[in-house]
Amino acid sequence: MNYEELLNVALKEARKGFEEEGVPIGAALFDAEGHVLGRGRNRRVQENDPSAHAETDAFRRAGRQKNYQDTIMVSTLAPCWYCSGLIRQFNIGTLVVGENKNFPGHLDWLREAGVKVIELNDARCIELMSYFIEHHPDIWNEDIGVCKPSK
Amino acid sequence: MNYEELLNVALKEARKGFEEEGVPIGAALFDAEGHVLGRGRNRRVQENDPSAHAETDAFRRAGRQKNYQDTIMVSTLAPCWYCSGLIRQFNIGTLVVGENKNFPGHLDWLREAGVKVIELNDARCIELMSYFIEHHPDIWNEDIGVCKPSK
């Protein structure tokens, strides 16, 4: 499997998100042969939807599947607890991570649960996310739930 | 806070889901004063949406919030990894669980992360879910990702 090629599908989604002025994280779910089942991106800003992280959006758009063991989730950024929980609950067999410099995620927790995790350390993903975090720290913090109480 | 009263809001959602022939799990997100921010239910069957677990649906419908520390997530059933990850990532302060007999969830994992977890062991929630699991084991297994491969 050419994981770089799969990552390009997710990265295209992330760039679309960036153009829409949203959080530029993209993801896609593939079957065992590398065919796209669903592609998605973070839609917090675009649709005012806090539940639409890239991975959950791709999972949603893939529709109902009977089994995920042979599927491959590809994300431009290491998944948060919410998306890691998704991967673990549905026994998604393989996770490909574009980068985990801007957000470390919980890759060991997933590995311990039996998920095959591949880290690509992709410079394009790192740069896109770094730029967004630097320019929109408030939206980024909101997206990962680390905002301080307003009172 | 009257947690039984909050549970009734989630149970009403679960019953709506049952009437729609969906997975009868309901949830609602409340603010610190017990006002509803969003209510939701499992919509796998109704909308062919595998990502719409009750808790994520309630979270979604609550819209963007700056901070969740003071919020209360109420679900008729103990949350799966996906929904537990949501609660942990967004630092939802309190979780009220209608029952954890039909699905144990990961309540200790949430407690260790600092979530205040309240178990109500509600007979109405247990009965509704037991009935559904008995009559639709296939949909239930699909909903928690334990289906066997079709091949």
CB contact under 8 A, B48 and A64: yes
Q: Tell me if chain B has a CB within 8 Å of the CB of A136.
A: no
| C-alpha to C-alpha distance for B117 and A124, rounded to whole angstroms | 41
Alpha carbons B40 and B29: distance in angstroms, whole number: 9
Average pLDDT rounded to a whole number, residues A79-95: 98
Annotated active-site residue A55? The verdict is yes
Min Cα–Cα distance to chain B from A52, Å: 8
- Residue B83 tokens, joined: 């929904």
Spell out where B109-149 has E strands: 116-119
Compute the 3-state secondary structure of chain B and give helix, strand, coil in percent, each to the nearest 5.
40, 15, 40
What per-residue confidence (pLDDT) applies to A149?
Answer: 58
DSSP result, A59-119 = HHHT---S--TT-EEEESS---HHHHHHHHHTT--EEEES--SS--TTHHHHHHTT-EEEE
In percent, the amount of chain B with pLDDT more than 90 equals 96
Q: What is the mean pLDDT of chain B?
A: 96
Q: Please report the pLDDT score of residue A147 as a whole number.
A: 77
User: Which pTM was predicted?
Assistant: 0.96
A82, A109, A110, A148, best to mutate vs chain B, most B CBs in 10 Å? A82
Tokens 């059933």: give the residue. Answer: B77
Q: What percent of chain B has pLDDT over 70?
A: 97
- Residue A119 sits at φ, ψ, to 5 deg, of -105, 125
What pLDDT score was predicted for residue B99? 98
State whether residue A69 sits within 8 Å of chain B by CB. Answer: yes
**What CATH number is attached to the domain comprising B107?**
3.40.140.10
pLDDT score of B148: 67
Residue B10: its pLDDT value, please? 98
Average pLDDT, integer, range B122-126: 98
The overall average pLDDT reported for chain A is 96
Task: Note the pLDDT tens digit of each residue in B1-24.
Answer: 999 999 999 999 999 999 999 999
Find the domain containing B59 and state its range.
Answer: 3-144
- The reported pLDDT for the residue numbered A148 is 67
- Does B150 map to a domain? no
Does B151 fall in a domain?
Answer: no
Which token pair is B117? 């977890």
pLDDT tops 80 at residue B150: no
Please give the Cα distance from B122 to B99 (Å, whole number).
Answer: 6
CA atoms within 13 A on the CB side of A111: 10
Measured between CB atoms, which of B70, B91, B147 is closest to A67? B147
Q: Which of A4, A55, A99, A119 is catalytic?
A: A55
Q: Let me know if residue B119 belongs to a domain.
A: yes
Q: Is residue A135 a part of any domain in this protein?
A: yes
- A70 — contact with chain B (CB < 8 Å)? yes
Which of B5, B55, B127, B134 is the catalytic position? B55
> Which of B64, B68, B83 has the CB atom closest to A48's CB atom?
B64
If you measure CA to CA, which chain B residue comes closest to A54?
B51
Nearest beta carbon to residue A81 from set B56, B66, B88: B88
List, for residues B41-71, the tens digit of each pLDDT value: 999 999 999 999 999 999 999 999 989 999 9
Residue A45 has pLDDT above 60, yes or no: yes
Query: Closest Cα to residue B135, out of B20, B10, B21?
Result: B21
How far off is chain A from B111, nearest CA to CA, in Å? Answer: 15
**What was the pLDDT predicted at B51?**
98
What is the pLDDT confidence band of residue A151, given thresholds at 50, 70 and 90? Answer: very low
Query: Would you say residue A151 lies in a domain?
Result: no
- Identify the pLDDT of residue B149: 58
Structure tokens given for B49: 């949406």
Residue of A98, A87, A77, A115 whose CA lies nearest to A4:
A98
Q: What is the mean pLDDT of residues A45-69?
A: 97
Average pLDDT of span B74-88: 98
User: In chain A, which residues have their Cβ closer than 8 Å to the Cβ of B89?
Assistant: 80-82, 144-145
Taking residues B79-95, report their average pLDDT.
98
The answer as to whether B26 is a domain residue is yes
Domain-embedded: residue B128: yes
Domain assignment present for residue A30? The answer is yes
CB contact under 8 A, B81 and A80: no
Number of domains in chain B: 1
